[in-house]
């Protein structure tokens, strides 16, 4: 029971960090970013290459920072021009970015699988309720919660966080009050991409690296954002945790339905509360 709940927590927190990147970008730019899965994958591959040479910590930092830069470039070149376009256009363009990044990964790293060992300090197991549990998985929970806390504190109490919230509600009024909204865009998209990069490299020691990893996780992270309500952090948090637990307990008690459960929940939420758990009604 306890191990199951922990398993769910691990996957849930990984999904949460990944989808908070989506939420950030949607909140400010109103762009549904389909390239997010590829950013996650790129973060994992860059982090992996650095981690092999300079150690795991360097790899994690590199994955986050490199993807932050990619995010800034993406915003200046693509998202900025998309913010008031037809949603269908943004879907097609960001999906195109996804395919391009996926091909870049394939031509640089090839199609074979790579695995990364967890750092030595986290390689062992911890006894929990009499059963061994990998220490690295506990680290994932800790790291995700830390990142979530930093994000919440920054948005709620930081001055720039206030600007981001203001610009998400109404960019033109925020600009009139003196907020440099043109600078906020690249910063927020960069941060969103960095979150994708972080989650990619943090996932690497327990999910192997391969060119399909981005599309595999993209679907689930969208389910998280839709259930939570696009643009809502609290919603994303609740739905990521819910999905993680569903995955963990579903495979034990309803193995035939386990892979369907996230989508059943999403359909149910869309009928009952179309704006999502934490979304404001339009």
Binding status of residue 57 toward other proteins by CB under 8 A? no
In the complex, what is the shortest distance from the CB of residue 208 to other proteins, in angstroms, rounded to a whole number?
A: 4
Beta carbon nearer to other proteins, 135 or 152:
135
Binding status of residue 30 toward other proteins by CB under 8 A? no
Residue ranges in 147-206 that form contacts with other proteins under rule CB under 8 A: 205-206
Give the span between the Cα atoms of 49 and 68, in whole angstroms.
17
Binding status of residue 255 toward other proteins by CB under 8 A? yes
Single out the residue of 228, 220, 188, 189 nearest to residue 203, CA to CA: 220
Q: Which of 57, 81, 131, 267 binds other proteins (CB under 8 A)?
A: 131
CB 171 within 8 A of CB 43: no
Q: Which of 38, 82, 213, 218 binds other proteins (CB under 8 A)?
A: 213
Binding status of residue 252 toward other proteins by CB under 8 A? yes
Give the span between the Cα atoms of 58 and 71, in whole angstroms.
20
In order of 23, 34, 52, 230, 282, the CA distances from 274 in angstroms are 17, 20, 45, 11, 10
> Which letter, b or e, does each residue of 15-26 get, where b requires 16 or more Cβ atoms within 10 Å of its Cβ?
bbbbbbbbbbbb
Beta carbon nearer to other proteins, 76 or 138:
138
Give the span between the Cα atoms of 218 and 200, in whole angstroms.
12
Give the span between the Cα atoms of 43 and 65, in whole angstroms.
9
Binding status of residue 36 toward other proteins by CB under 8 A? no
CB 224 within 8 A of CB 276: no
In the complex, what is the shortest distance from the CB of residue 220 to other proteins, in angstroms, rounded to a whole number?
A: 9
Beta carbon nearer to other proteins, 68 or 211:
211
Q: Which of 207, 265, 273, 275 binds other proteins (CB under 8 A)?
A: 207
Binding status of residue 7 toward other proteins by CB under 8 A? yes
State the residues that interact with other proteins by CB under 8 A.
3-4, 7-8, 10-11, 110-115, 117-118, 123, 125, 131-134, 136-137, 205-208, 210-213, 216-217, 247-249, 251-252, 255, 258-259
């Amino acid at each position: 029971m306890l191990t199951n709940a922990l398993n769910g927590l691990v996957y849930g927190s990984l999904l949460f960090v990944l989808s908070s990147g989506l939420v950030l970008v949607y909140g400010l730019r109103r762009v549904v970013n389909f390239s997010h899965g590829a950013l996650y994958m790129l973060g994992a591959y860059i982090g992996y290459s650095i981690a092999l040479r300079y150690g795991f910590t360097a790899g994690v930092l590199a994955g986050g920072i490199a993807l932050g830069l990619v995010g800034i470039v993406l915003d200046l070149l693509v998202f900025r021009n998309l913010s008031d376009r037809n949603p269908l256009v943004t879907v097609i363009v960001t999906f195109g970015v996804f395919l391009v990044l996926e091909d870049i990964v394939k031509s640089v790293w090839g199609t074979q699988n790579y695995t990364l060992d967890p750092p030595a300090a986290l390689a062992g197991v911890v006894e929990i309720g009499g059963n061994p549990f990998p220490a690295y998985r506990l680290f994932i929970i800790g790291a995700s919660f830390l990142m979530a806390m930093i994000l919440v504190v920054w948005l709620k109490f930081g001055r720039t966080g206030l600007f981001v919230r203001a610009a998400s509600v109404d960019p033109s009024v925020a600009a009139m009050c003196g907020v440099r909204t043109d600078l906020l865009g690249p910063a927020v998209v960069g941060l969103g991409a960095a979150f994708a990069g972080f989650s990619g490299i943090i996932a690497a020691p327990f999910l192997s690296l391969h060119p399909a990893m981005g599309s595999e996780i993209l679907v689930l992270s969208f389910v998280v954002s839709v259930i939570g309500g696009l643009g809502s952090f609290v919603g994303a948090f609740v739905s990521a945790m819910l999905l993680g637990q569903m995955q963990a307990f579903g495979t034990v008690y309803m193995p035939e339905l386990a892979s369907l459960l996230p989508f059943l929940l999403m359909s149910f939420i869309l009928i009952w509360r179309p704006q999502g758990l934490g979304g404001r009604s339009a």
